[in-house]
Amino acid sequence: MVPFEPRNGASASDAGLGEPARPIRVFLVDDHALMREGLRAVLERRENVEIVGEAGDGHEALRSIEAAAPDVVVMDIAMPGLNGIEVARRLRAGFPQARILALSMYDDQEYASEVLRAGAAGYILKDAASSELVKAIEAIARGEGYLYPIIARKLVDHYVRGPEGIRVDETTGLTAREREVLQLVVEGSGNKETAERLGISPKTVEVHRSRIAAKLGITDLPGLVRYAIRRGIIKP
């Protein structure tokens, strides 16, 4: 998908009256260190990009992003503990000036729809060419949206087909805490471990699990796992 041109038709260098534009401040979030190293190696070769920080999970990202003050957050969707979709929701509420480019290995329309609704400005696949990644970052830094071509086609196809297309669950009614509990449960944490990781009591975890089951209409663990995979909360 080719990004839209800025409405005023001016380039970044025009705005600076011939002076070099400030580098785009980028923050990297991925639970695989090798992936972060690869992204950093690609982006550090660009004079118009500055890496201002990185995180290996969603919680670390939320603790670090505001202090790093990035323009663009390049973030994996499926991370253990706190997934990228939930991080996007919280950043949109608490630090909306950081625009998010979702990074995924899945060319799935539901994954893309979910993270875009959560607040991401773009979606790109991990196997995209480095030039495509840079193009996406530059577009998002300019205030535009960006979709990897195959994802753009699938989203258009879905909306063209309407109700008979791929079903997208617009809302679940789950609270932020219930979404955290859901992710930990489907990742295999029991009530006691979930309680310890979230700093709440096992009884409170049980209450959250009951509410999750009621809201989703899913009472068994395999059903919750299938739901979490469809929504991009965990990897298949």
How confident is the model over 7-29, as pLDDT tens digits? 344 444 444 455 568 999 999 99
236 lies in some domain: no
Q: Where does residue 183 rank: exposed (0-12), middle (13-18), buried (19+ CB within 10 A)?
A: buried
Quick one: 153 and 53 in the same domain? yes
Last residue of a domain, one of 161, 184, 217: 161
pLDDT digits (tens, 9 = 90+) for 211-227: 888 888 888 887 888 88
pLDDT at 191: 85
Quick one: 28 and 134 in the same domain? yes
Quick one: 147 and 208 in the same domain? no
Quick one: 150 and 181 in the same domain? no
Q: Check: CB of residue 89 under 8 Å from CB of residue 210.
A: no
Percentage above 70 pLDDT, the chain:
84
CATH number at residue 213: 1.10.10.10
Query: What does the alpha-carbon distance between residue 135 and residue 16 come to, in Å, rounded to a whole number?
Result: 21
Quick one: 151 and 195 in the same domain? no
Query: What does the alpha-carbon distance between residue 47 and residue 178 come to, in Å, rounded to a whole number?
Result: 42
pLDDT digits (tens, 9 = 90+) for 48-78: 999 999 999 999 999 999 999 999 999 998 8
Provide the domain limits for residue 121: 12-161
Quick one: 125 and 79 in the same domain? yes
The candidate with the shortest Cα–Cα distance to 101, out of 131, 66, 125, 68, is 125
Q: Check: CB of residue 133 under 8 Å from CB of residue 124.
A: yes
Amino acid found at 9: G
pLDDT at 161: 57
pLDDT digits (tens, 9 = 90+) for 107-126: 777 778 888 888 999 999 99
203 lies in some domain: yes
Quick one: 146 and 204 in the same domain? no
Query: What does the alpha-carbon distance between residue 14 and residue 67 come to, in Å, rounded to a whole number?
Result: 29
Per-residue pLDDT band for 187 (boundaries 50, 70, 90) equals: confident
Last residue of a domain, one of 161, 186, 213: 161
106 lies in some domain: yes
147 lies in some domain: yes
Lowest mean pLDDT among 57-66, 124-133, 144-153: 144-153
Sign of CA dihedral 176, 177, 178, 183: positive
Q: How far is CA 209 from its chain centroid?
A: 24
pLDDT at 170: 44
Query: Considering the chain, what is the average pLDDT of its residues?
Result: 83
pLDDT at 43: 96
At 50, list the tokens. Answer: 């500055």
Quick one: 33 and 131 in the same domain? yes
Quick one: 104 and 189 in the same domain? no
Quick one: 116 and 20 in the same domain? yes
At 73, list the tokens. Answer: 């957050």
The pLDDT of 99-110, averaged and rounded, is: 86
Quick one: 133 and 181 in the same domain? no
127 lies in some domain: yes
Quick one: 209 and 137 in the same domain? no
Q: How many domains, the chain?
A: 2
